[in-house]
Structure 1
Amino acid sequence: MIDKETLKQEFGGILLGVAAFFYIGSLLFYHPDDTAVVSRLQWFEMIGSAATSVAKELHNPFGILGARLSSLLVEWFLGYMSVIPGIAMVYWSWCVGRVKSLKPPLFFTLYAVLITLVAGTMSGLTSFRDADLYAGTVGRMLATFLSTLLGTTGAWILLLALAVGLSLALWRMLGTRIAGLASGVVDAATAGWSMAGKLGGLMRRVVSRMAGERNPDPGLAEASPARPRKPIVAADPVRPEPEFEPEPESLADETAQEHADDPEITIREAVREKEADLDERRLKVKTKDRGSYRFPSVDLLKRTREEDELIDESLLEESKSRLLEKLRIYKVEVVRISATVGPRVTLFELELAPDVKVSKVTSLENDLAMAMAARGIRMIAPIPGKNAVGVEIPHGKPRTVWMRSVLQVEKFKNSRLALPVVLGRTIANEVYIDDLASMPHLLIAGATGAGKSVGINVIISSLLYSCSPDKVRFVLIDPKRVELFHYQHLKNHFLVTFEGLEEQIITEPAKAVYALRSVVKEMEQRYARLEVAGVRNIADFNRKLPQEALPYLVVVVDELADLMMTAGKEVEEPITRLAQLARAVGIHLIVATQRPSVDIITGVIKANFPARIAFQVASRVDSRTILDSSGADQLLGNGDMLYQPANQPKPERIQCPYISSSEVEAITSFIGSQEGLKTAYELPRPDMNEKNAAGMAIRGGKVSGGGRDPMFEEAANLVVMHQQGSVSLLQRRLKLGFSRAARVMDQLEENGIVGSAEGSKPREVLVQNLDSLELLLRNLDG
């Protein structure tokens, strides 16, 4: 089916081309005598007998309009140099007709106008006979002005510098396109010349054959039997050279014929998202406790310069030639090829011949990577829903996707999803938005520096821009202590509180287990409320009882590996229960890890996380662990990711947007500066059975170790001896890890040996000497 928009643009390109041909032709056929002839005719007399008689006297083949146009531009404007803007019109017609970007013709038009002025002024500085025809009135005026102001030499230097500078600027902007266009013209001319030579040779053979058939001289027929007398020539010692010269030409013709047989590449147009101002929506809303809350403005995100989205066609053509040449070596025939240029990679879609097996292409992945000299290629065999094989190849001009650009689209502004999350841009440049409520849980894995923490910031920021505190609350668990500390500003708006814990952003493994069990308890209580209300999920409950509406809970765990190493089954059990049951009551997990190994992402955890994101990983084994398929080991890092939705068979390649720490700080500070909610959302105290109580106990409303650490007494002696209560002292002297040393310090505080923490300062030691300590320890044991 023909695209109407494409048809309109091609028709517009043809009209522009016709106008350019008329413009250039009119100027080139300018004749001085036509001015006097045309001047006899008024503008309103263009039709009639007078116009007919005038047209017969004109030398310009483009009629009265062409003669008037050429007289105006050549005599009164910039002379024959006025032809140069006509070349810009030709370029415009080419770009409009081929549905290309319009930025290059804009640059070229500006260059053409300026270089026309420079060339006309140069012609005005000369004194040869027809200089006026090349300079025009405007060129002579500018030349007179510059020569008076700077002198003739100074004017020439200035104009030459301007010409060189403008040409270099044009080459820098459009050099590859000009080179590609020039090579295309040269190839076309070479092919035409070769074809003309072949046609000429064919015509000569046909003519000679016809002449031989029509020759009436019988002597030629009698002389023909005398041809076999070649031994006389053979006796000649000088042997004729074998004719090897035509062979290179024939080889070149064969090579050219092979490339001519290559399918023409089709460049798929990128998706152009409809932009929208996010600040035009209703920013100020009322909360449930009758307070006011204002959504953060998009101006808190950095406004970045729009990057050039021009497609380098010559580079695409070169990549296509390399790809097809390598496939041709292995007898893989490609019928059709198309390319989609994304932010960082180009997707080539190859439609194979019917007799080619897909497995034959997939086995060539490493060979194709070497042929393309690429950092890593990824194959999609086949592309879901298409009769084609996909090859993703990194291109030389990567573009950064900014957070502001993916939020300022109509799709996000008018989204009706419960928890809309922006993940980035696809290869087709489409903004990819998914609903966290329908995922319903997300597993994120990737090597250090691949973009996991930025990805988590993007997800949380998306929710902050789309949801109010009445709609969503966060449970943040950050064992690394430094990744989520920006969100401390949200404590009075979006962060939940725990009964029995002072912290709202959990950093210690023991408290993380307690927080996860609190979420499990909240899940059980919500199910009880749904059962009483007679509904199946949180959306129905909120519609039925809007006064008792429950917020969604998003649990973010930034480093699962650390929790699994320190707590193991105590962490896996609540995460598994939440992943299996929490969807209906609006509790959703986002779990990230930089170690996607089977001992961290166990089979039980992976089975309950259908939606997964894989950033760049170190090996194919890690890729299979997170995605059940390879491909993540071929990613490029810096936000390049594969997203496996729950409802699709194969992952989607997406470029995650970039949001800086300063932008996150600006968003959270803006929210934190507003008046906090009057009632905090508190999670209940979890049920602690005997098994859990052996490793964890609740004392005085605080979480602490159930039994004292084996190093407790030695640590107490060390602290009292040095009169310094710091975790680093325990780490150095007792060779403990940070988490264990911190737990021992908490036990010392609970037993009255050291005081409470005072920021980065050492704790105050409450026991003055070792004798007092021995008495205290004896009382504790008693």
Structure 2
Amino acid sequence: MNKEKLKKELSGIVLGIIAFFYIGALLFYDQDDQTVLAGLKWYEFFGRGAMETVSKLHNPFGIFGARLAELFIRSFLGYVSIVPGLALLYWGWSLLRHKSLKPPLLFTFYTVFISLVAASMFGLTTAPFGDVMSGAIGRMLAAVLSTVIGYTGAWILLAALAAAATLFAVRILVENPFDKLRSAFTGIGVLKGRIVAAFEHKKSRESKPESEEAELSLPFPPENPENTFVEKLTEEAQEEAANSSSSAPTDDEPEITIREGVHEKEADLDKRRLKVKTKDRIAYRFPSVDLLRHTREEDDYIDETLLEDSKNRLLEKLRIYKVEVVRISATVGPRVTLFELELAPDVKVSRVTSLENDLAMAMAARGIRIIAPIPGKNAVGVEIPHGKPRTVWMRSVLQVEKFKNNKMALPVVLGKTIANEVYLEDLVTMPHLLIAGATGSGKSVGINVMLTSLLYACSPDRVKFVLIDPKRVELLHYQNLKNHFLVKFHGLDEQIITDPTKAVYALKSVEKEMEQRYDLLEKAGVRNIADFNRKQPDEALPYLVVVVDELADLMITAGRDVEEPITRLAQLSRAVGIHLIVATQRPSVDIITGVIKANFPARIAFQVASKVDSRTILDGSGAEQLLGNGDMLYQPTSQPKPERIQCPYVSSGEVEAITSFIGKQDGLKNFYHLPQPDIKEKGNGVQNGGFQDKDGRDSMFEEAAHLVVMHQQGSVSLLQRRLKLGFSRAARIMDQLEAAGIVGPADGSKARDVLVDSHDALDLLLRNLD
């Protein structure tokens, strides 16, 4: 038994004892006890005086019980004060039985309200017992109401309030009350019929001769002689009533076992070391968890009636197709319920998998997924959406001990499993992740969740981001991280890449960085980045996480130029600490090519349109049956079949709050620059370094200088458009213009300042350069 269950049970027992003491003390209230207690101070519970007083009390619960009864009955609601004690008993029972605490909470509100109404009613009466039944508060409320709306009006109002509150409580606290009443009356009718039949049978036996008596059959079998006649009648009546109100399950139908979900141990993430020193001695503070939305914890109450109904419909449909189920268990997750079916030995698994559409129709479900078989178990899994989906919030998956005390290099939270367990993975062991799903299925939110996990777990010295966002708006908020987590590219003004042509340059730059890191590892005599950082901590290399939010757009515009660096990085970059997260909304074979797919063993599939798309990303069906809004299948490298996970939700406002908090801190002095890649210019056919004059400057340098001075605007895109140059060459010329003092340094995505104001001044500067 875990500690949480033990705490609940102990709390339930304590509450039950308190409730019995409270109710008993009030029931044994005696007015004469007030006179006995008058000579005793209120805090005296021990000593000779207290012992003498106890012997004279009528209340068996002692001095404390007598004082408690006097306080509640005289000064509060009279004997009606006993009613809230029933709510206290309900709390204790619910904790002891591990039931949901929502019904006792509602019942508490109801008992308090109905006690006030009842005390007011007794206060309106003139009967001699009115004072002791209403108490001081009841009499006061009665006086106020009779003064404001009159005696008759007060009775009408209180009666209406009592009736409305009772009807509302019954509808809320009792599942299908009218069905239960009908079942009860049905049971009474069946019981009455059985008793009449039994007495007629007995009368006929007495009137028959002994020879014929043996031929008469008893209405019940002779087993269990210790049971009385009436007990047998009652049992059969209850069975008939239950059968008439249910969906007619068979007698040999297996009972359902509800598997308890995982209860993650909570931990305060803000109690760790939040302030650290970076390599350049700038203090960095981790974002507080309070920047994430604090939501009320949703009730994990399991509707056993609904679960039983789903089980009956599922087994009934399987019985039609001659599929015998020996044992069944259920696990209720955030959005779906997993039924684990242990089949009879002679039933083939393929017979269940072929019934996917039939079961979906029988369950009236949006889509069901069959796992045949569940890895490591002698069972077939059927995942069915339930009617009470719960949202998984980002804060709830970070505020757990598993995340706070993890020892992973790059921990990313993926969400919660069906068993409500927080699923945490190390990006280093993946080592790359491919994400696919239809529009609006949750891909961008999933990327935000992973980046947020890294921001809460890693300092700027440990990880850097290369963000490529062809959609231009999904990763916009991460611009606030430009002085801490984002890398800088030679020749590029922006740090978040949005232009597909510049994306090729950025990926090539990461590829060049990979080659240089391999040279460092070779010189140090180590195999991976972790060993290098341990051996040379002063020259420790940060991990690089490359995020591509829409691969399809890059493949359409650049094609082979994008596929080549992504494939090479996926094949080689793991050892040097470079990891890819690539997402696309078009999981087709022309986007997710065989070469890319082979180098991304870890994959995530959100909801897709068809089985073909599901097979493209996961090599199997199932993703087409997902529910959207973060419902996903994660295929880890260590498991043969994907795991169903509910991705947590983090809003754009929360992401902006986190990145703004980091962006307002002092920026790092030393930015992490990626090297300039060797790229062939399309259309010119010359590698980097071509078109150079004797001084090492590009042959188009002077023409570009006059162009920027004429427009008084220094930007790479201007050179591309007006001089018809490729991006990398135009960026290289812009660096040469900066080195010559013609334009200023890059300032984010803004155009560079032009430092020369006329062509005459430019000619003079160019002559001095020569």
CA shift, 1:16, in A, is 6.9
CA shift, 1:639, in A, is 1.4
CA spacing shift, 1:740–1:40, aligned 2, 3 Å: closer
CA shift, 1:692, in A, is 11
Quote the Cα distance in structure 2 between the aligned partners of 1:477 and 1:54: 82
**1:155 partnered with 2:151:** no
1:35/1:68 contact within 8 Å kept: no
Aligned-residue sequence identity (percent) comes to 67
Gaps of 5+ in 2: 214-239, 693-697, 701-706, 734-741, 755-770
CA shift, 1:561, in A, is 0.9
Provide the residue aligned with 2:223 in structure 1: none
Q: Secondary structure at the match of 2:249?
A: helix
Quote the Cα distance in structure 2 between the aligned partners of 1:746 and 1:655: 51
CA shift, 1:573, in A, is 1.7
Provide the residue aligned with 2:102 in structure 1: 103
Q: Secondary structure at the match of 2:576?
A: coil
Provide the residue aligned with 2:570 in structure 1: 579
**1:179 partnered with 2:209:** no
CA shift, 1:201, in A, is 3.5
Quote the Cα distance in structure 1 between the aligned partners of 2:112 and 2:246: 42
Q: Secondary structure at the match of 1:274?
A: coil
Quote the Cα distance in structure 2 between the aligned partners of 1:93 and 1:274: 23
- Counterpart of 1:285 in structure 2: which amino acid? V
- Counterpart of 2:262 in structure 1: which amino acid? V
2:34/2:70 contact within 8 Å kept: no
CA shift, 1:168, in A, is 6.5
State TM-score, norm by structure 1: 0.75
CA shift, 1:157, in A, is 4.8
Provide the residue aligned with 1:462 in structure 2: 453
Alignment of 1:31-180 (within 5 A): 78=77, 81-82=80-81, 84-85=83-84, 87-89=86-88, 91-127=90-126, 135=134, 139-140=138-139, 142-148=141-147, 150-160=149-159, 162-163=161-162, 166-167=165-166, 170=169, 175-180=171-176
Provide the residue aligned with 2:561 in structure 1: 570
CA spacing shift, 1:76–1:258, aligned 2, 3 Å: same
1:422/1:434 contact within 8 Å kept: yes
Quote the Cα distance in structure 2 between the aligned partners of 1:100 and 1:743: 68
CA shift, 1:312, in A, is 3.3
Q: Secondary structure at the match of 1:480?
A: coil
CA spacing shift, 1:117–1:375, aligned 2, 3 Å: same
**1:268 partnered with 2:283:** no
- Aligned pair partner of 1:535 in 514, 526, 537: 526
Quote the Cα distance in structure 1 between the aligned partners of 2:719 and 2:613: 32
Provide the residue aligned with 1:284 in structure 2: 275
CA shift, 1:250, in A, is 12
Quote the Cα distance in structure 1 between the aligned partners of 2:323 and 2:63: 60
CA spacing shift, 1:21–1:489, aligned 2, 3 Å: closer
1:446/1:615 contact within 8 Å kept: yes
State TM-score, norm by structure 2: 0.76
1:35/1:67 contact within 8 Å kept: no
CA spacing shift, 1:123–1:179, aligned 2, 3 Å: farther
Quote the Cα distance in structure 1 between the aligned partners of 2:456 and 2:86: 49
- Aligned pair partner of 1:315 in 287, 306, 309: 306
1:610/1:646 contact within 8 Å kept: yes
1:510/1:696 contact within 8 Å kept: no
Q: Which range moves more in the overlay, 434-443 or 313-322?
A: 313-322
Provide the residue aligned with 1:669 in structure 2: 660
Provide the residue aligned with 2:511 in structure 1: 520
Alpha-carbon deviations, 1:319-362, whole Å to 9, x = none? 33332332233233333333333222222333333333322222
Quote the Cα distance in structure 2 between the aligned partners of 1:547 and 1:628: 44
Quote the Cα distance in structure 2 between the aligned partners of 1:382 and 1:554: 36
Alpha-carbon deviations, 1:90-140, whole Å to 9, x = none? 533542343112232122123212211211221332356876675467644
Alpha-carbon deviations, 1:716-752, whole Å to 9, x = none? xxx9xxx9x9x9xxxxxxxxxxx99996567279899
CA shift, 1:214, in A, is 4.3
CA shift, 1:86, in A, is 5.2
Q: Secondary structure at the match of 1:595?
A: coil
Q: Secondary structure at the match of 1:337?
A: strand
**1:747 partnered with 2:724:** yes
Provide the residue aligned with 1:212 in structure 2: 208
Provide the residue aligned with 1:339 in structure 2: 330
Alignment of 1:270-669 (within 5 A): 270-669=261-660
Q: How many residues align?
A: 685
Alpha-carbon deviations, 1:630-678, whole Å to 9, x = none? 1111111121111111111221222212222222222222222222222
2:443/2:606 contact within 8 Å kept: yes
Q: Secondary structure at the match of 2:341?
A: strand
Quote the Cα distance in structure 1 between the aligned partners of 2:476 and 2:656: 10
Quote the Cα distance in structure 2 between the aligned partners of 1:700 and 1:297: 52
1:176/1:312 contact within 8 Å kept: no
1:38/1:54 contact within 8 Å kept: no
Alpha-carbon deviations, 1:27-84, whole Å to 9, x = none? 99x9x9x988999999999xx9xx99999xx9x9x99999999999889875664553
CA shift, 1:616, in A, is 0.9
CA spacing shift, 1:121–1:535, aligned 2, 3 Å: same
Gaps of 5+ in 1: 222-248, 709-718, 728-738, 765-782
1:644/1:650 contact within 8 Å kept: yes
CA shift, 1:166, in A, is 4.2
Alpha-carbon deviations, 1:677-709, whole Å to 9, x = none? 2222122222347999739756799xxxx9x9x
2:504/2:561 contact within 8 Å kept: yes
Q: Secondary structure at the match of 2:305?
A: helix
